[in-house]
Amino acid sequence: MPTTSLPSGGPIPVFGLGTWMMGESENKRTDEVAALKLGLDLGATLIDTAEMYGDGEAEEIVGDAIAGRREGLFLVSKVLPENASRKDTVAACERSLKRLRTDRIDLYLLHWRGSTPLQHTLDAFVQLQREGKIRHWGVSNFDTDDMEELLSLPGGDGCATNQVLYNLKRRRVEYDLVPLCRARDIPVMAYSPIEQGRLLGAAALKEVAQRQGTTTAQVALAWLLGRPGTIVIPKATKPDHVRENFGALDLTLSDDDLSVLDRAFPPPQKKYALEML
């Protein structure tokens, strides 16, 4: 699995498995565990989850999928803003560790910014790091001004990633947020990389997919993977989707392909506020 670098220099896989909407229905549980296991069998090492997903059930599903094969995996989870005080962040992390049935989370993110002062959450992250319960910490849904504020705090330069909505249709992060992260060697984790499936019928994607002999999902993922310091975390429960998404790792888009995509999905020419799903 190809990797990119964390600001500390360590590796982080550029492709992982998303888990939002997992754990919401008991009769899908077996398929969801199987999808994650299939992803791991195919070579994925990163799984993205959160205490929010399925109200903790998605972490339980990840726990089932990784049972007996924790070594070598890179687990990402997130604390909700309402749990982001010094004390509650530590307690939330400990609950996540129990559900995941592991002793450490590789990357622990603040899911989005709430009313808790950033320094308090940061202090909790540093404590969790010191105790070996998390290896790295980062944020999600942070716009440029939030990142600047975070990076100006004591210890704020320990931020290891910003996970944001980023795909061909959602390029506004390219104006100043991605450049800021690149300048600080902070990888950008692109969530909803195929816009939850809504991107896949686009004519430009079909044109490129046809030329490359691939699928539109693979083109959308390969486009993100071609951008330095970018990580994709598509979620798939259907086995065919899981397999198909891995195909993006073998696809390199040509300059012509990129021009077709730029024309259909132009990059931003001015600052727009960060979008969230």
Which residues sit at the interface with ligand NAP, rule CB under 6 A? Answer: 18-20, 48, 111, 140-141, 163, 191-197, 200, 217, 233-238, 241, 244-245, 277
Buried b (16+ CB within 10 A) or exposed e, 118-148: beebbbbbebbbeeebbbbbbbbbbbbebbe
CB of 238 vs ligand NAP, minimal distance in Å: 4
CB of 269 vs ligand NAP, minimal distance in Å: 25
Alpha carbons 96 and 83: distance in angstroms, whole number: 12
Alpha carbons 259 and 17: distance in angstroms, whole number: 28
Are 47 and 16 contacting, i.e. CB atoms less than 8 angstroms apart?
yes
Nearer to ligand NAP, 87 or 174 (CB): 174
Number of residue whose CB is nearest ligand NAP:
18
Nearer to ligand NAP, 179 or 239 (CB): 239
Q: Is the dihedral angle over the CA atoms 4, 142, 16, 128 positive or is it negative?
A: positive
Q: Which residues are catalytic?
A: 53
Q: Which two tokens stand for residue 60?
A: 């339980």
CB of 197 vs ligand NAP, minimal distance in Å: 4
Instruction: Report the alpha-carbon angle 84-127-188, nearest 5.
Output: 65
Nearer to ligand NAP, 97 or 194 (CB): 194
CB of 138 vs ligand NAP, minimal distance in Å: 10
Among 20, 116, 33, which residue's Cα sits nearest to residue 76? 20
